[in-house]
Amino acid sequence: MTRASRKPKPFAVPPKEAPVPVVIAKAKAAPSDQAHPHQNLDRAARAAMARLSGGVSTHSFTEAWNDWAQHLARSPGRQMELAERAVLNAWKLMGMATAPGAGSPYAPKAHDHRFDHPDWQKLPFKHLQQGFLAWQDWWDHATAPTRGLRPEDAERTRFLARQMLDVVSPSNFPMLNPEIIGQTVKTGGRNLTEGAAHLMHDAVKTMTGGRDPAPEGFEIGKELACTPGKVVFRNDLFELIQYTPQTAKVHAEPILIVPAWIMKYYILDLSPHNSMVRYLVAQGFTVFMMSWCNPTADQRELSLEDYRKHGVMAALEAVCAIMPEVPVHAVGYCLGGTILAITAATMARDADTRFGTVTLMAAQVDFAEAGELLLFLDESQIAFLEDMMWEQGYLDRPQMARAFAAIRAEDLIYTRNVQRYFLGRDDLPSDIGVWNADSTRMPARMHSEYLRGLFLENRLTAGRFAVEGRVIALKDISVPLFVVGTETDHIAPWRSVYKTQLFTDGPLTFVLTKGGHNGGILSEPGHARRHYRIAHRPSGALYISPDAWFAQYDPKEGSWWPEWTQWLARQGNGMVSPPETGAPERGYAPLCDAPGEYVFQP
């Protein structure tokens, strides 16, 4: 029997029951949730402090400094080691200074572009650069984990030291930066006046909460998010877009994409040349995309369960009404992948087999190794954020953006500021830059549940995450999984994403691709200097550690997208005629053209 003639995989939908409140919403609630009403004054005071500090609690970092300093104070051997390191670094600098032709003993880190300009290799700027890098080297060594020091405190101390060093980098000062000096001489100081204008513009925008319009040639619905389609369903939480077929025949099974609600969906439908949606449609897939709303203070009580039940499950109901009797390829990106994994595990528990496959892109299910974002999260920090959200109803866009930028402050903050304020250069417009500035808010209740239940308590892989009153387990997912990690992801580190293999038993294909959290996913065919590693794990196979896996599989040149679409096709049942857009007779009539209305919500 040919693949095209095979019958679709049978699937079952469990009978609908009365909704039961999700347990995680009340899991280990903050003590102040049931405290005396007078403590609202405390919460208001902490919320005010949180606004001044950008939402960062100083308690955790002060505690980390104390832990590090006390362990260093009672470790004379460690003190001698650091003294020797300082002397060694000084000798290296002295040797470079006394031998003009000597090479540079220190090099910037791979992601540090502050010293890329060739004039940094000229005297005296080379000495300034090398002196700073020697200082950075010493602090990296001084904040390394030591016996008795809590590892998280060592990492926080290193992070704080790096933030302080970044402030005093010679690249930040006009009289010490050869690129700024050269540009000032060349333009007669015009770069400084233009930079001052940029600074004033950005200061006003920050104080007023304003946003710049999209630059010419990057308009949403025209140049971005422009794959043709129709909105076929809408509720208060999301719109569902069904994209117009572009081939005479399409694969029998549709694709439902669940993007993260921390971002606008069109990162996956960016420009025509790098749109994942356009690529999938061109390969003969019927694609449905969820476009989340941008929550306001009135939606502060939206919960993680709301995003599952009234988001992913409502979208699945619509897709199955429009294309009935066939399983669905479910795809989740970032936070959308996490909620998709929760949904898939819940469906498996409830004998709901409407998912044919599940793809998780840069999505974590275990948060024990969630990277530098964990530096910001402990009980003190989450309580601080909860108080801020208690007052305003959500976590605002700038507050999240600052946290992400601080992880790569040398590049995302200081290099950009030098370019914009001292060199007088505008940010070059780009599709991903427009999307990056078009961030969203996070509703207070959902974000608190997410931080406490997943990041802080890691309940999902610990067997303590309950949906509708019953615990779910990722190992119940039996459908084929396709999991994608990216090599330089600082939001969902690939080793953390890889751990999906540790908590699932079914067939799983893992791909590790070059790039970061966004760039690694947007790896369209023809993208220069791209590679990926791929391997399949059959059901019941033994676990391989991420480093052993990395060493075992050689990289392949090119894009991972064709591998994925071929994998999807192998899981399917051949080609059929394209479906109609929407299903008016079932209550899913087309409402408007893509990209819909929610993507334009400010």
- CA 415-421-423 angle, to 5 degrees, is 80
HSE-CB of 53 using CA atoms within 13 angstroms? 17
The CA R_g of the chain, rounded to the nearest whole Å, is 26
Strand 255-258 and strand 442-443: the pairing is unpaired
The predicted-structure confidence for 204-239, as pLDDT tens digits, reads as follows: 887 777 777 878 889 999 999 999 999 999 999 999
CA distance 560 to 531: 8
Residue type, 321: A
Q: What is the DSSP pairing of strand 229-234 with strand 592-593?
A: antiparallel
pLDDT given for residue 602 in this prediction: 87
- To the question of pTM greater than 0.85 for the whole model, the response is yes
Contact in structure between 431 and 270 (CB atoms under 8 Å): yes
Is the pLDDT higher at 35 or at 386? Answer: 386
pLDDT higher than 90, residue 178: yes
HSE of 146, CA atoms in CB hemisphere, 13 A: 22
DSSP E strands, 187-304:
229-234, 238-243, 250-251, 255-258, 287-292
Where is pLDDT greater, at 112 or 83? 83
436 compared with 557, residue with greater pLDDT? 557
DSSP state of 454: I
Position 28 scores a pLDDT of 45
pLDDT band at residue 50 using 50, 70 and 90 as cut-offs: low
CA–CA separation, 356 vs 329, rounded Å?
5
Q: Provide the 8-state DSSP code for 467.
A: E
Known catalytic residues are 334
Average pLDDT, the chain: 88
Secondary structure element (H or E) that encloses residue 399, with its range: helix 397-407
Query: Percent of the chain having pLDDT more than 90?
Result: 68
Instruction: Please report, as a single letter, which amino acid is at residue 107.
Output: A
Q: List the 481-486 sheet strands across, edge first.
A: 556-557, 531-537, 508-513, 481-486, 355-361, 328-333, 255-258, 287-292, 238-243, 229-234, 592-593
- Residues 306 and 237 sit within 8 Å (Cβ to Cβ): yes
pLDDT at 75 over 80: yes
What's the pLDDT at 398? 65
At 27, is the pLDDT very low, low, confident or very high (cuts 50, 70, 90)? very low
How far is the CA of 485 from the CAs of 138, 280, 323, 432, in angstroms?
A: 32, 19, 30, 19
- What is the rounded distance in angstroms from the CA atom of residue 316 to the CA atom of residue 240? 10
In the predicted structure, residue 128 carries a pLDDT above the cut 80: yes
How does strand 556-557 pair with strand 531-537? antiparallel
Q: What is the average per-residue pLDDT within 315-332?
A: 97
Structure tokens at 304: 């993680």
Contacts for 58 with CB less than 8 Å, ≥ 6 apart: none
Domain coordinates in residue numbering, the chain: 59-188, 229-352+360-390+444-600
User: What pLDDT is recorded for position 34?
Assistant: 56
Q: What is the mean pLDDT of residues 38-55?
A: 68
Question: Which pLDDT score, from 0 to 100, does residue 15 have?
Answer: 53
Return the CATH architecture of domain 229-352+360-390+444-600. 3-Layer(aba) Sandwich (3.40)
Mean pLDDT of all residues in 248-254: 97
Is 404's pLDDT higher than 70? no
Q: In this structure, is the dihedral angle defined by the CA atoms of residues 303, 25, 259 and 357, taken in order, positive or negative?
A: negative
Tell me the mean pLDDT in the region 568-583.
95
Q: Is the pLDDT of residue 377 over 70?
A: yes
Residue range 514-552, pLDDT digits in tens = 999 999 999 999 999 999 999 999 998 999 999 999 999
Residue 18: per-residue pLDDT: 40
Amino acid 570: pLDDT: 96
Q: Which residues of 201-240 are buried (b: 16+ CB within 10 A; e: fewer)?
A: eeeeeeeeeeeeebeeebebeebbbbbebbbbbbeebbbb
